[in-house]
């Protein structure tokens, strides 16, 4: 079945920010602040200048991608169109629904990319080649 999500479904989610003199807290609660339940958290850090990450798709996984420190750019591709998002604030997250190809690039020095994911790690959920991704989307090459 062709994936029904498109890049228009990839949205920046404005999270809360509890602020006082001694700093900020941002809280992310399952199904309250984000539209899925988190099963896994991981973070990318110490990314060398000029490197990019991602370059794959997921069949079913949903993610919220956040720049908890520094900045980077996330490019989402649904096989027909692409859209880029600059993440540079720790109280915004990019919601990536299933079936999107993503690239993460332009990491600032010291950037930390926090990913909240709807599922456990499963290599079988990855679409590692762009051709497989297009087939999954039902898009002719
Ligand atoms: P990958 O998701 O391909 O990284 P990126 O998209 O950021 O370039 O993962 C890189 C490696 O880490 C790959 O060998 C799989 C492994 N990995 C895990 O074992 N568990 C995980 O939860 C993640 C995200 C990756």
* Residue range 111-125, pLDDT digits in tens: 999 999 999 999 999
Instruction: Using alpha carbons, select from 107, 108, 103, 99 the residue that is nearest to residue 132.
Output: 99
Mean pLDDT score across all residues of the chain = 96
Distance 62 CA to ligand 1 centre (A): 15
44 lines ligand 1 (CB under 6 A): yes
126 lines ligand 1 (CB under 6 A): no
The preferred substitution site among 43, 46, 51, 54 for testing ligand 1, maximizing ligand atoms within 8 Å of CB, is 54
What pLDDT, on a 0 to 100 scale, did the predictor assign at position 35? 92
Around Cβ 3, how many Cβ atoms within 10 Å?
19
| pLDDT one-digit tens code per residue, 12-37 | 999 999 999 999 999 999 989 999 99
Residue ranges in the chain whose pLDDT is less than 70: 1-3
Residue 93 in contact with residue 26, Cβ under 8 Å?
A: no
What pLDDT, on a 0 to 100 scale, did the predictor assign at position 13? 97
In this prediction the pTM is 0.96
43 lines ligand 1 (CB under 6 A): no
137, with CB counted inside 10 A (0-12, 13-18, 19+), is: buried
What pLDDT, on a 0 to 100 scale, did the predictor assign at position 117? 98
What pLDDT, on a 0 to 100 scale, did the predictor assign at position 103? 98
What pLDDT, on a 0 to 100 scale, did the predictor assign at position 2? 54
Active site (catalytic) residues? 56
42 lines ligand 1 (CB under 6 A): yes
């Amino acid at each position: 079945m062709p994936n029904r999500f498109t890049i228009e479904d990839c949205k920046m989610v404005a999270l809360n920010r509890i602020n006082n003199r001694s700093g900020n807290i941002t809280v992310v609660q399952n199904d309250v602040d984000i539209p899925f339940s988190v099963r896994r958290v991981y973070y990318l850090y110490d990314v060398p200048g000029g490197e990019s990450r991602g370059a794959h798709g997921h069949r079913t996984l949903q993610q919220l991608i956040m720049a908890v420190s520094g900045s980077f750019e996330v490019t989402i591709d649904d096989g027909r169109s692409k859209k880029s998002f600059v993440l540079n604030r720790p109280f915004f997250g990019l919601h990536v629904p299933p079936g999107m190809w993503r690239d993460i690039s332009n990491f600032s020095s010291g950037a930390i990319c926090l990913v909240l994911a709807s599922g456990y790690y499963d290599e079988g959920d990855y679409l590692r080649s762009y051709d497989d991704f297009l087939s999954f989307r039902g898009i002719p090459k």
